[in-house]
Structure 1
Amino acid sequence: MSDFTQSMALSASGMKAQAMRLRHSSENIANADTPGYHRKIAGFEKVVSDGAPTGEVTLGPVRLDRSELTQIYEPGHPMADENGYHDGSNVDLVVEIADAREAQRSYEANLRMFDQARQMSASLLELLRR
């Protein structure tokens, strides 16, 4: 039975990490028009217990993308400099939507694995009861 619980724990850690990744993509999309906004980036890290990897994953520390901000020419904007430019954001909506879609599909795959392990453990318990 521990193999089933371990596989469900692995799937659950993947779902949690992908949900957080989707949250960061959503925040980036929501702030795409915010002046001076830097895109949030986070990678995955292995979970280690007693010096050995467990197979689970977690979302690593969130970093800000330090690539150049777009310069927007808008002389009437309150943040515009003497030349009429102000900083935009470095969020690329196409990249963010693709990341969000990938996170959603990965979440769904982990959910299917979790459900499959749950069904198999329920079937095993049913066989043992007979």
Structure 2
Amino acid sequence: MSDLFNILSLSSSGMAAQANRLRHVSENIANADTPGYQRKTASFEQVIEHGQKTGAVQSGPVELDQTPTKQVYDPGHPMAGEDGFYNGSNVEIMIEIADAREAQRSYEANLKMFDQARQMSTSLLELLRR
């Protein structure tokens, strides 16, 4: 029975990590047109308890993508220099969409694993009641 609860814990940690990743993706998409904005990336770390790897994951520190920002020519923009250029963001919408899709599918896989473990524990409890 403890293995089933362990599976529930592992899958819920995966769902929490992917939800955090999706939050960063949505922030990136929302700030795609913000001058000087740098793309945020989420990393994952294994959870270690008592010196042992548990199999669970957690979100690591947020990192800023070091890809150079785009130079945008718009002489009328308030942030434009004398040459008419200003620093745009380094967010690529297609990359963000792909990251969002990957996070969604990973979340769904963890949700399915959680649901399977829940169904198995329910079935086990029903068998024990008889």
1:108 counterpart letter in structure 2:
E
Write the distance in 2 (CA, Å) between the matches of 1:125 and 1:76.
Answer: 69
Per the normalisation by structure 2, the TM-score is: 0.99
**Structure 1 unmatched runs, 5+:** none
Partner-residue secondary structure (3-state), 1:53: strand
Counterpart for residue 13 of structure 1? 13
Cα deviation, 1:11-34, whole Å, max 9, x if unaligned, reads 000000000000000000000000
Q: Give the 5 Å matches for 1:59-78.
A: 59-78=59-78
Q: C-alpha distance in 2, partners of 1:86/1:30? A: 19
| Aligned-pair identity (%) | 68
Q: 1:36 maps to which residue? A: 36
1:67 deviation in Å? 1.4
Residue-pair matches, total: 130
- Provide, for residues 1-50 of structure 1, a one-character-per-residue CA deviation record: whole Å limited to 9, x for no partner: 10000000000000000000000000000000000000001211000000
Render the CA deviation track for 1:77-123: whole Å, top value 9, x for unaligned. Answer: 00000000000000000000000010001001100100000000000
Q: Is 2:93 the counterpart of 1:104?
A: no
Cα deviation for residue 61 of structure 1 reads 0.3
Give the letter aligned to residue 71 of structure 2.
Q
- Alpha-carbon distance in 1 for matches of 2:73, 2:28: 22
Q: Distance in 2 between matches of 1:121 and 1:67?
A: 47
What value does the CA root-mean-square deviation take over the aligned residues?
0.4
**Alignment partner of 1:106: what SS?**
helix
Q: Which residue of 1 aligns with 2:79?
A: 79
Given residue 31 of structure 2, which amino acid in structure 1 is its aligned partner? Answer: N
